[in-house]
Amino acid sequence: MRAQWVGLDRWVLLVVGVSLLLALPVLTVFVTALQPAGAVWRHLADTVLADYVRNSLLLMLGVGVGTLLIGVPAAWLTSIHEFPGRRLFEWMLLLPMAIPAYIIAYTYTGLLDFAGPVQTALRESFHWSRQDYWFPEIRSLPGAVLMLALVLYPYVYLLARAAFLEQSVAVLEVSRSLGAGPWRRFHAVSLPMARPALIAGVSLVQMEALADYGTVQYFGVSTFTTGIFRVWYGMNDSIAAAQLAGLLLLFVFALLVFERFSRRLARFHHTGNRQFRPARLALRGRWRWLATLACLLPLLFGFLLPAGQLAIWAFRTAPRMMDGRFWHLLSHSLSLALGAALLILALALLLGYGQRLRPRPLARAAVRGAGLGYAVPGTVVAIGVMLPLAAIDRGVDGWARQWLGLSTGLLLSGTVMALLFAYCTRFLPVALHSVEAGLARIRPSMDDAARALGATPRAVLWRVHIPMLRGSLLTAVLLVFVDVLKELPATLILRPFNFNTLAVRTYELASDERLADSASFALAVVLAGIGPVILLSRAIGRSRPGYDAVS
């Protein structure tokens, strides 16, 4: 029971103000999208818009099905069966998360194109020449689906695994006593019971697929994100770009609603009390090896092969690429990511504590609104950051020209400020989630107990809160750090002139067909990405089902 004060005070105003600021990009996109359609938009609608919608939908659908086909069997096998390598697969299946989709796309292009090792080996062993054989083109829509599915399936795997582990043992034992064999138990009991979790996982995956820019751009597939870039840079029409972004947002929000809804259902779906799992079902004969194979393939194609290829390229090109510029870029990129992570952590702490100290519905709603940023594609965030900042710059510049007779140029829109603003919008929810989870562990009675034992409010902060929050804060910083390091589209749009990050450099080199040269940069991103995977796998090791871990 906490006192309820009526009215606004500094905390509430601060929380609501920061939340509104963070929601500004999304609001801008929506407001701009409502403007009457211009000539460019009409041109788009007549020509390529249908392609964007069709390709984006196909991508969503394909990646959804692909991640289900990979993630669900892997989760089913590792969560309640025993077979060779199960313990290892349990966490290693998460490794593909470390590779950003655009990097796996570059790697497979290098592996599978005409001059790549696979086709070369085929030609050499069969003495074929170019016209003698057909080889699937990886740079295509199906190729993009495959790439995205290979690195996104861990979301489905994590949520499905949690759902399977949480299912009441009693229900499975009842179905066993009613004569249901393992297959029937899977498709008639376990799978339907896990359905809400699977829908939630697939919705998350589809949001990521919609947000992808690097893969579809490289593969020449026209989707919303590549369309936004084309309209923004090619046609120089910011209104039409925002309108396209607004349409993309509608797709994303539909998925978001769907995901929230199925998560709520998921809560109703396990009502039975938790019991200890009986021993895992040990697979026998060829089933053991099939199970091993089903888990090995996604790991092999999603991580081992691309990471191995990157390592080989990096090893070959490193002497040339790892020059002074590389180290400069590395330290630059790392310090940008760290700075952004610390800034975002500070904001998350502010919002988390604001809500804890003043649990008011208004503040809650505002923070929930700011929390939607994670679902918003980086491209959309970038447009939403660019428009208002550019307007401010134009206003200030016009005023200065008129009254001071000088041009102030780009004060905000072409600077690191804009980039940091976009990162805050997009990645604050990640940090907020950790901070809120940490704060929830500090029950109000612990504050009271410390006060009753003579600690002042400041002492409570230093002696109770900070030690108890330390782990959550480190997690928040690590997750945001890696997310910023991997971020591509928003950084491409918003970066100041001559400003580079590892991700952007990888993209630039890959665009110049210097795939092997990009490997050192890509490998650095992937290595950083393994950090969060270790965190997640430690959570799995403690056998805490992974709901918290994902969103």
Partner 1 sequence: MTPFLDLAAIDVAYPPKRVVENVSFKMNSAAIGCLLGPSGCGKTTLLRAIAGFEPIQSGSIRLEGTELSRPGWTLPPEQRRIGMMFQDLALFPHLTVADNVAFGLRGWKADERRARVRDLLRLVGLDEYARRYPHQISGGQQQRVALARALAPRPRLLLLDEPFSSLDVALREDLAHEIRAILLREGIGGLLVSHDQFEAFAFADQIGVLDQGRLLQWDNAYNLYHRPADHFVADFIGQGVFLPGQMGEGSRVCTELGDIDGIPLAGCEPGDPVEVLVRPDDVTHDDASPLAAEVVERAFRGAEFLYTLKLPSGARLLCLAPSHHNHRLGERIGIRLEIDHLVMFRRG
Q: In the complex, which residues of this chain contact partner 1 (CB under 8 A)?
A: 1, 3-4, 6, 441, 443, 445-446, 448-456, 459, 463-464, 467-468
Which CB sits closer to partner 1, 400 or 464? Answer: 464
- Are 480 and 344 within 8 A, CB to CB? yes
SS3 label, residue 380: helix
* Distance of closest approach, residue 7 Cβ to partner 1, in angstroms: 11
* Distance of closest approach, residue 397 Cβ to partner 1, in angstroms: 51
Which CB sits closer to partner 1, 7 or 324? Answer: 7
- Provide the b/e sequence for 287-318 (b: ≥16 CB within 10 Å): ebeebbebbbebbebbbebbbebbeebbeebb
Find where tokens 């976009």 sit: 422
d(CA 251, CA 57) in angstroms, rounded, equals: 9
> DSSP letter string over 8-51?
--HHHHHHHHHHHHHHHHHHHHHHHHTSPP-HHHHHHHHTTHHH
Q: Which residues, in sequence order, are CB contacts of 351 under 8 Å at separation 6+?
A: 15, 18, 19, 367, 370, 428, 432, 435
Which CB sits closer to partner 1, 17 or 359? Answer: 359
* Distance of closest approach, residue 546 Cβ to partner 1, in angstroms: 21
* Distance of closest approach, residue 541 Cβ to partner 1, in angstroms: 17
Which CB sits closer to partner 1, 1 or 115? Answer: 1
State the burial class of residue 492 (Cβ atoms within 10 Å of its Cβ: 0-12, 13-18, 19+). buried
* Distance of closest approach, residue 12 Cβ to partner 1, in angstroms: 17
Which CB sits closer to partner 1, 225 or 472? Answer: 472
- Are 90 and 540 within 8 A, CB to CB? yes
Q: Please list the residues that pair with 82 across neighbouring strands.
A: 282
Which CB sits closer to partner 1, 1 or 406? Answer: 1
- Are 209 and 65 within 8 A, CB to CB? no
* Distance of closest approach, residue 361 Cβ to partner 1, in angstroms: 16
Tell me the two tokens of residue 56. Answer: 């984006």
Query: Which residue intervals of 93-190 are DSSP H helices?
Result: 101-112, 117-126, 141-166, 169-177, 182-184
* Distance of closest approach, residue 471 Cβ to partner 1, in angstroms: 9
* Distance of closest approach, residue 277 Cβ to partner 1, in angstroms: 21
Which CB sits closer to partner 1, 450 or 526? Answer: 450
Q: Among 416, 476, 469, which residue's Cα sits nearest to residue 447?
A: 469
Rg of the chain over CA atoms, in angstroms? 25
Which CB sits closer to partner 1, 339 or 471? Answer: 471
SS3 label, residue 455: coil
Which CB sits closer to partner 1, 446 or 534? Answer: 446
How far are the Cα atoms of 29, 48, 243, 395, 430 from residue 227, in angstroms, in the given order? 15, 9, 11, 29, 27
d(CA 349, CA 364) in angstroms, rounded, equals: 14
Which CB sits closer to partner 1, 221 or 439? Answer: 439
* Distance of closest approach, residue 464 Cβ to partner 1, in angstroms: 6
* Distance of closest approach, residue 542 Cβ to partner 1, in angstroms: 13
* Distance of closest approach, residue 90 Cβ to partner 1, in angstroms: 24
Which CB sits closer to partner 1, 281 or 468? Answer: 468
State the burial class of residue 333 (Cβ atoms within 10 Å of its Cβ: 0-12, 13-18, 19+). buried
Provide the 8-state DSSP code for 185.
I
Which CB sits closer to partner 1, 116 or 471? Answer: 471
Q: Please list the residues that pair with 81 across neighbouring strands.
A: 281
* Distance of closest approach, residue 1 Cβ to partner 1, in angstroms: 7
